[in-house]
Amino acid sequence: MEQGITQPSVKSQHLWWQNGVIYQIYPRSFQDSNGDGVGDLQGIISRLDYLQWLGVDCVWLSPIFSSPMADFGYDISDYQGIHPLFGTMEDFDELLGEVHNRGMKLLLDLVPNHTSDQHPWFLESRSSKDNPKRDWYIWHDGKADGGLPNNWLSVFGGHAWEWDEVTQQYYYHAFLKEQPDLNWRNPQVQEAMMNVMRFWLDKGIEGFRVDVMWHMVKDEQLRDNPPFPGSTFDPNDLIYDHYTPVYSTDQPEVHEIVHMMRAVTDEYDDRVLIGEIYLPIHKLVTYYGQDNKGAHLPFNFQLLTLPWDAPAIAMAIDEYEGALPAEGWPNWVLGNHDKPRISSRVGREQAKVAALLLLTLRGTPTIYYGDEIGMRDVAIPMNEIVDPQGLNMPDLNISRDPARTPMQWSGEINAGFSTHKPWLRLPFNSGRVNVEKQKGDMYSKLHFYRKLISLRKEHAALNVGSYRPIYADQQLISYVRESGNERFLIVLNLSHRPAYFKPRQESYSGTVILGTEIERIGMQVEDIITLGGDEGLLIRLS
């Protein structure tokens, strides 16, 4: 690992989304202002001072648009309306202004792959075969024997084709049947969605996170997806992951659509386009586009999906750095609304090591609300599950509810989130694990996050500096961040046992400026460094 990948010299000028920290809010669960048990825009406004105190630069909101809520906002019935649960357009305008008043940016979730089945576009499309909007969605006859058009499955379980009795055809839905997929091969669909983007950009938002970007275009011939290698083929098997979605996702033409979205984004100054893309690295990096005219940040989910294993993660970081196009800017994600929380995946103590990794790697980090206080997945009784993914496949225990529970603000009733019973239950320990309690404890995870974010802002080497891997073994990852005369060594023990940093060629000495154990700060280190289990160090090199 001594011979590392090096980057081109750091550019003199970086954009806000390159040196900033993004903070994801799941609006239903951040703060309830009107006592109905569901978070809302006014609630978010009331907590912006906290986000400013924490040091984040950009707030990303999961969907707040008009929706029947079959998939909690990812089934949109009006792309230019606000759901009454969250407030009004006036509330949104106030939120945007208050975010900007604090020197922060605001991103919205764009869900272009599918709409709600209650969207006026779809109501027209399904009204008759000759309706002008019929081709706005993916309709198809069944096979001659009466079978489905192909074997494509829904991510949420079951077949992805829904029969429409009125027009005697099937329509395609990659997710719920209430979420019909748009036909992105239709130029009218393309123009309509570009105008949706312009509507919000004209309001002054700083950009979009684009939902399931790699799903947007499907194989024109509707060919069957093959079984996943090694799986036992069973035509009655209706579990999405048992097939490889080579024809229903990641088609070559999707890059033309991403290029269109980037062109619209570039009509405005200093905006950013982020893509949700769960693909291997060699495919992920293609979404930067030719001449870097695709997504500014194709989301990199390796820290979400890989086993928490030092050799695997060290290799993945280097593979990613090596695969990036020349002008491509990296990014990293530890948690989001679709995956188990980091503290549940790797444990409470190791989650601090993960935070140190997230906030010292080269590239833009995204923090999921509550991770900064160590929120864990909450055990939701089966009779309280509301997530359609969990309800449709109960035997797989894949509900996303446990990672979407209300923010734990204080020891008050309902953790200060609401005066009413929250839409999802809180953990039993929310009286101990909350923002208010951790704000008063300098040893807390919250203060650790705040200090890390502050150090990122203070030091160009940690912010936009180069990355060079130094040493990795079965327990450790280590690397150097450098800019000008500043050099920092980061050493992370991803195991629960003591470990030893033993560089093979260079000599390293310096001062610990932050560690998962606060007592380490100020200590001098040299050459072989001993780390305890679940320990990470940030060292300013001499």
Nearest to 394, CA basis, from 403, 408, 406, 384: 384
pLDDT digits (tens, 9 = 90+) for 413-472: 999 999 999 999 999 999 999 999 999 999 999 999 999 999 999 999 999 999 999 999
Backbone Cα Rg of the chain: 24
pLDDT of residue 11: 43
CATH topology of domain 466-541: Immunoglobulin-like (2.60.40)
Determine the pLDDT at residue 230. Answer: 79
What is the pLDDT at residue 1? Answer: 37
Place of tokens 């993960």: 354
The domain at 16-115+187-450 falls in which architecture? Alpha-Beta Barrel (3.20)
Query: Which residue stretches of the chain have pLDDT < 50?
Result: 1-12
**Confidence at residue 339, expressed as pLDDT on a 0 to 100 scale:** 97
Sign of the C-alpha dihedral, residues 11, 14, 20, 26?
negative
Question: How far apart are alpha carbons 132 and 193 in whole angstroms?
Answer: 17
- pLDDT the model gives residue 385: 97
Residues with catalytic roles = 211, 267
Residue 116, pLDDT score: 98
Give the domain ranges of the chain.
16-115+187-450, 120-172, 466-541
pLDDT at 7: 41
pTM: predicted TM-score of the whole model, two decimal places: 0.96
- Cα–Cα separations (whole angstroms), residue 490 to 333, 382, 510, 535: 18, 42, 11, 11
| C-alpha distances out from residue 318 to 4, 148, 334, 479, Å | 8, 43, 17, 10
Structure confidence by residue, pLDDT tens digits, 491-507: 999 999 999 999 887 88
Same fold, 16-115+187-450 and 466-541: no
Indicate the helix (H) or strand (E) that contains 220: none
Q: Among 3.40.50.720, 3.10.560.10, 3.90.400.10, 3.30.70.580, what is the CATH number of 120-172?
A: 3.90.400.10
pLDDT of res. 8 = 40
